[in-house]
């Protein structure tokens, strides 16, 4: 690289990061807003009983979506390392078949557990395999650092799931019909994503492809790699919910409701900077840039987190005016809820780095942290501040240990 190009590179890299993060944030925001908006017409048109079944089945649908999250991470990592896109799409097909089998076997038990019709339950679980195929395309786009295209696919997938379901509900359709329409919409999003990502293997030169050209032997990953990444995604989901579930069980109904409101701030602080990990993940998967990318991700997350916590401090006095005097006790600890969300976002970055480095065994730290969080919450007094304090302390310690390990581990 000549001196002029070298001087321009840092600024260019910063612009690429900001552009990519902005695009992914916008795409994710569209998808999330669409998902939330689905509940408004559903609750109105289905009535309390129908909406209860609809919401329960949407929650069950999240379980079959976990493998797709892991698959996207594995595909992005292996593309960076030089695995051909045909092999990665084949991996996506194998995982989709496995998820299809599991979903088929789960229909009857889930229907019985949730007391929902069998056909409606089948419609709710049917997107699982297609989500895996879609995740493979998203992983190809992420690994190739085509973040604008990835953002478009994310937004399209969110809208594709929601718009057909809303249309069916508006026409008087029931729970099962609406869920089936959403599944068709997801399939349509996958077909579009397939077209968008079709040129990834041919038109984009990734770090991994350059390494492969230099003589490195790259083997195609198997389903076990996705399962290993899946347990990392699973523990992260559990860590973001365990305190709220225990608060519901241990606190008084009033304090449990207040804790649930504070948890909204934690979730917002956790989800707001999700694009940071998405954009920097391909660099984490590059052995040469792994540690630098992890440090960059943590630095950006802490910077965003400081702003979020400060915003929580400023906004806290408005809580009673917005949601009622009954929630006034939350005002003094809203900053702590925001801090918990920020810490979880940093922990997620460290866990993503273990997937990127193909060292998912390091997620054992997070599983231990999950158990310690549950034990700590169970041991402290049954008070809102005690439950929150215990959760925050254990999550901070878990994050510090996970970070120490993440910066020492060498990519496989």
pLDDT digits over 97-128, tens only?
999 999 999 999 999 988 889 999 999 999 99
Q: Is 116 left (phi over 0), alpha (psi -120 to 50) or beta?
A: beta
Q: Are residues 132 and 232 in the same domain?
A: no
Q: What is the pLDDT of residue 218?
A: 60
Q: What is the band of 206 on the pLDDT scale with cuts at 50, 70, 90?
A: very low
Residue that terminates a domain, selected from 185, 213, 241: 213
Identify the CA nearest to 150 among candidates 31, 297, 295: 31
Residues in the chain, total: 412
- Residue given tokens 């993060």 in the structure block: 21
Between CA 86 and CA 104 the distance in angstroms is: 27
* Average pLDDT, integer, range 227-254: 89
Q: Are residues 57 and 149 in the same domain?
A: yes
Token pair of 117 as six digits: 């019709």
In a domain, residue 311? The reply is yes
In a domain, residue 80? The reply is yes
- Residue given tokens 């029931």 in the structure block: 174
Residue that terminates a domain, selected from 193, 213, 233: 213
Tell me which of 8-12, 310-314, 360-364 is least confident: 8-12
Asked if 352 and 284 touch (Cβ cutoff 8 Å), the reply is yes
Q: Are residues 22 and 132 in the same domain?
A: yes
Q: Are residues 250 and 197 in the same domain?
A: no
In this model, does residue 131 exceed pLDDT 70? yes
Asked if 80 and 144 touch (Cβ cutoff 8 Å), the reply is no
Q: Are residues 253 and 194 in the same domain?
A: no
Asked if 146 and 85 touch (Cβ cutoff 8 Å), the reply is no
- Write the CA distances from 303 to 71, 156, 181, 307, 370, integer angstroms: 29, 30, 41, 7, 26
In a domain, residue 6? The reply is no
Specify the number of domains making up the chain. 2
In a domain, residue 318? The reply is yes
Q: What is the pLDDT of residue 200?
A: 57
* Average pLDDT, integer, range 64-70: 88
Q: What is the pLDDT of residue 5?
A: 44
In a domain, residue 3? The reply is no
* Average pLDDT, integer, range 251-271: 87
Q: What is the band of 36 on the pLDDT scale with cuts at 50, 70, 90?
A: confident
Which residues lie below 8 Å from residue 126, measured CB to CB, with a gap of 6+? 103, 179, 180, 183
Which residues lie below 8 Å from residue 377, measured CB to CB, with a gap of 6+? 242, 243, 246, 247, 250, 387, 390, 391
In a domain, residue 1? The reply is no
Q: Are residues 178 and 242 in the same domain?
A: no
Q: What is the band of 355 on the pLDDT scale with cuts at 50, 70, 90?
A: very high
In a domain, residue 294? The reply is yes
Q: How many CB atoms lie within 10 A of CB 385?
A: 15
Asked if 167 and 106 touch (Cβ cutoff 8 Å), the reply is no
Q: Are residues 370 and 233 in the same domain?
A: yes
Q: Are residues 179 and 232 in the same domain?
A: no
| Average pLDDT score over the chain | 87
User: Which run of H or E residues covers position 278?
Assistant: helix 274-284
- Write the CA distances from 107 to 53, 65, 132, 137, 230, integer angstroms: 14, 15, 18, 27, 21
In a domain, residue 218? The reply is no
**3-class secondary structure, 287:** coil
In this model, does residue 307 exceed pLDDT 90? yes
Q: Are residues 146 and 189 in the same domain?
A: yes
* Average pLDDT, integer, range 131-151: 93
The string of DSSP letters for 331-345 reads: TTTHHHHHHHHHHHH
Between CA 91 and CA 97 the distance in angstroms is: 10
Q: Are residues 69 and 206 in the same domain?
A: yes
Q: What is the band of 313 on the pLDDT scale with cuts at 50, 70, 90?
A: very high
* Average pLDDT, integer, range 268-289: 88
Burial of residue 105 (CB within 10 Å: 0-12, 13-18, 19+) is: exposed
Q: What is the pLDDT of residue 213?
A: 41
Cα dihedral 326, 329, 330, 333 in deg (nearest 10): 180
| Cα 17 versus chain centre, distance | 19
pLDDT tens digits, residue range 317-348?
998 888 788 888 889 999 999 999 999 999 99
Asked if 348 and 236 touch (Cβ cutoff 8 Å), the reply is yes
In this model, does residue 235 exceed pLDDT 90? yes
Q: What is the pLDDT of residue 4?
A: 41
Residue that terminates a domain, selected from 213, 239, 261: 213
Asked if 204 and 144 touch (Cβ cutoff 8 Å), the reply is yes
Q: Are residues 61 and 128 in the same domain?
A: yes
Domain boundaries, position 176: 14-213
Q: Are residues 25 and 99 in the same domain?
A: yes
């Amino acid at each position: 690289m000549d001196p002029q190009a070298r001087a321009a590179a840092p600024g260019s890299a910063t612009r690429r990061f900001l552009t990519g993060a902005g695009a992914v944030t916008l795409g994710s925001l569209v998808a999330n807003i669409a998902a939330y908006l689905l509940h408004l017409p559903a609750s109105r048109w289905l009535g309390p009983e129908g909406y209860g079944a609809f919401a329960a089945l949407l929650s069950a649908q999240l379980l079959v979506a976990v493998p797709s999250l892991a698959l996207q991470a594995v595909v992005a990592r292996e593309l960076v390392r030089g695995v051909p896109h045909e092999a990665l799409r084949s991996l996506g097909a194998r995982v989709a078949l496995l998820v299809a089998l599991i979903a088929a076997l789960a229909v009857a038990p889930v229907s019985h557990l949730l007391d929902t019709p069998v056909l409606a339950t089948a419609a709710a679980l049917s997107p699982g395999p297609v989500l895996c195929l879609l995740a493979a395309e998203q992983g190809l786009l992420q690994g190739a650092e085509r973040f604008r295209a990835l953002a478009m696919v994310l937004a399209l997938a969110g809208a594709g799931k929601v718009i057909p379901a809303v249309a069916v509900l508006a026409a008087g359709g029931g729970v099962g019909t609406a869920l089936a329409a959403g599944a068709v919409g997801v399939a349509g999003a996958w077909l579009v994503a397939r077209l968008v990502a079709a040129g990834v293997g041919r038109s984009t030169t990734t770090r991994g492809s350059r390494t492969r050209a230099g003589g490195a032997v790259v083997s195609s990953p198997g389903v076990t790699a996705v399962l290993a990444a899946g347990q990392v995604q699973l523990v992260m989901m559990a860590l973001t919910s365990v305190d709220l579930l225990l608060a519901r069980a241990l606190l008084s109904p009033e304090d449990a409701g207040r804790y649930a409101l504070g948890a909204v701030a934690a979730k917002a602080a956790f989800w707001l900077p999700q694009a940071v990990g998405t954009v920097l993940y391909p660099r984490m998967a590059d052995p040469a840039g792994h540690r630098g990318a992890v440090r960059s991700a943590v630095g950006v997350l802490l910077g965003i987190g400081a702003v979020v916590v400060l915003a929580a401090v400023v906004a806290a006095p408005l809580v009673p005016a917005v949601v009622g005097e009954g929630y006034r006790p939350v005002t003094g600890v809203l900053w702590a809820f925001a801090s918990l969300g920020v810490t979880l976002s940093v922990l997620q970055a460290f866990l993503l780095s273990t997937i990127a480095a193909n060292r998912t065994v390091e997620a054992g730290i997070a599983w231990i942290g999950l158990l310690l969080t549950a034990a700590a919450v169970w041991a402290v007094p049954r008070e809102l501040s005690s439950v929150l304090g215990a959760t925050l302390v254990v999550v901070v310690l878990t994050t510090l240990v996970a970070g120490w390990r993440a910066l020492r581990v060498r990519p496989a």
